[in-house]
Amino acid sequence: MEIHPIRNDDDHAAAIREIEKLWGAAAGTEEGDKLDILATLVEKYEDGRWPNIRWPYIDASDPIDLLNYAIDELGHSQAELADLLGSRSRASELLNRRRALTVEMIHKISEAWKIPADLLVRPSQVAA
C-alpha cells in the first residue's frame, strides 16, 4: 500500500485494513514506521470526520442527540435512517424518544454512517 492522505471513508477503510496487517510490527522497522504513519493519518481523519461534540446544545453522551446531529450536520436524513431501520415509523419513534436503540440498530447505524458504536450504546433519554 502506498501511503497517502486519507480523504474519504474508502481511504479510511483501506488504511484500517493495512494497519491490521501491520499490527504488532516492531518499532524502528520499516513496517513499524509504516504502522505509526498510518495510525497517525487515521487518527487525524477520524478526529475530523467524527469530532468530539461539545456544543452546549448537543449532549454527546446521548445517542439520540448524536443521531440528530448526524442528520442536521453530516448530511444524513431521517429517510436514510428509516431505510436502515426498516420503517419510517421506527425512525420517527427513535428520534422522538419513544423507542430505545437496540443492538441491531446500533450496529446498522454504526456501519452505514461510520459513527463509532461506543457513542451509540450509551443510555438515552426516552419519553415516558
pLDDT along the chain (128 residues), means of 10: 85 87 88 89 80 49 87 90 95 93 91 83 72
Spatial distance between the Cα atoms of 47 and 4, rounded to a whole number of angstroms: 17
**Backbone phi and psi for residue 80, each to the nearest 5 degrees, phi listed first:** -65, -40
Q: Quick one: cell of 41?
A: 493519518
Domain 63-120: give its CATH superfamily.
Answer: lambda repressor-like DNA-binding domains (1.10.260.40)
Residue with cell 450509551: 122
Amino acid at 125: Q
What is the pTM for the complete model shown? 0.54
pLDDT confidence of residue 91: 95
pLDDT confidence of residue 57: 44
pLDDT confidence of residue 17: 87
pLDDT confidence of residue 42: 84
Spatial distance between the Cα atoms of 115 and 122, rounded to a whole number of angstroms: 13
pLDDT confidence of residue 52: 56
pLDDT confidence of residue 13: 85
